[in-house]
Chains A and B, each alone.
Chain A
Amino acid sequence: KQEVTQIPAALSVPEGENLVLNCSFTDSAIYNLQWFRQDPGKGLTSLLLIQSSQREQTSGRLNASLDKSSGRSTLYIAASQPGDSATYLCAVYTSGGSNYKLTFGKGTLLTVNP
């Protein structure tokens, strides 16, 4: 059974700091790994998708890496801003027979202080 773990559970940093969020998964048979952002009480916003054959993806101040063999991914946020405050969720996309699904971690709650 695939399990996804995110560390730390919560993180508070001053504005401008660079930071790293960690994600690990137990089964390396994944199609891709995705990072999402969730604001309080809201749905999910897709940030980055890394295919299983890729090592990293970048979008603006965000960079996500993937080491499939070790079951690890990191999300790097450069020059953090108060608007980055949210919960960040990591999810792996896998096949369970005929259906495909995302298995999520519990998320990292990020607070960026002005």
Chain B
Amino acid sequence: ETGVTQSPTHLIKTRGQQVTLRCSSQSGHNTVSWYQQALGQGPQFIFQYYREEENGRGNFPPRFSGLQFPNYSSELNVNALELDDSALYLCASSLEISGETQYFGPGTRLLVL
């Protein structure tokens, strides 16, 4: 148990819809990172939030956006869903921006039809 939770566990959406995924970090963790893991692939870095501001982004379009709240929760929002967005979405929290130990949540499985 890492103390990081994600909701929902599974989600089915249709192409063009919008989705919000949620993550609750360990108390005191100022940094949260989001990763996308397609089937058979390793996780890919989407972006990182530090003290409620975006602090770096991977190779993902602007329709992927996020929010981080003062209560150590965060959201990943994806607009205009595409079939290729079907994946396991993982959040990981750490104490500080350079915190090397990242604690992963169990993930949200998103299926886009």
Within residues 27 to 75 of chain B, which ones have a CB less than 8 A from any CB in chain A? Answer: 33, 35, 40-45, 48, 50, 55-56, 58
Interface residues of A (CB under 8 A from B): 4, 31-32, 36, 41-46, 49, 89, 91, 93, 95-107
Interface residues of B (CB under 8 A from A): 2, 6, 33, 35, 40-45, 48, 50, 55-56, 58, 88, 90, 92, 97-107, 109
Q: Report chain A residues within 8 Å CB of B44.
A: 104
Q: Report chain A residues within 8 Å CB of B42.
A: 4, 89, 91, 104-107
Q: Report chain A residues within 8 Å CB of B103.
A: 46
Q: Are B104 and A98 in contact (CB under 8 A)?
A: no
Q: Closest chain A residue to B97 by CB distance?
A: A100
Select A32's contact among B45, B58, B88, B100, beta carbons within 8 Å.
B100
Q: Report chain B residues within 8 Å CB of A46.
A: 101-104
Select A44's contact among B41, B43, B45, B98, beta carbons within 8 Å.
B43
Q: Are B100 and A43 in contact (CB under 8 A)?
A: no
Given A32-B100, A49-B100, CB of A100 within 8 Å of CB of B48 = yes
Q: Are B56 and A93 in contact (CB under 8 A)?
A: no
Q: Are B90 and A44 in contact (CB under 8 A)?
A: yes
Q: Are B97 and A99 in contact (CB under 8 A)?
A: yes
Q: Report chain B residues within 8 Å CB of A107.
A: 42
**Distance of A32 Cα from B33 Cα, bound (Å):** 17
Select B104's contact among A31, A43, A93, beta carbons within 8 Å.
A43
Q: Closest chain A residue to B106 by CB distance?
A: A43
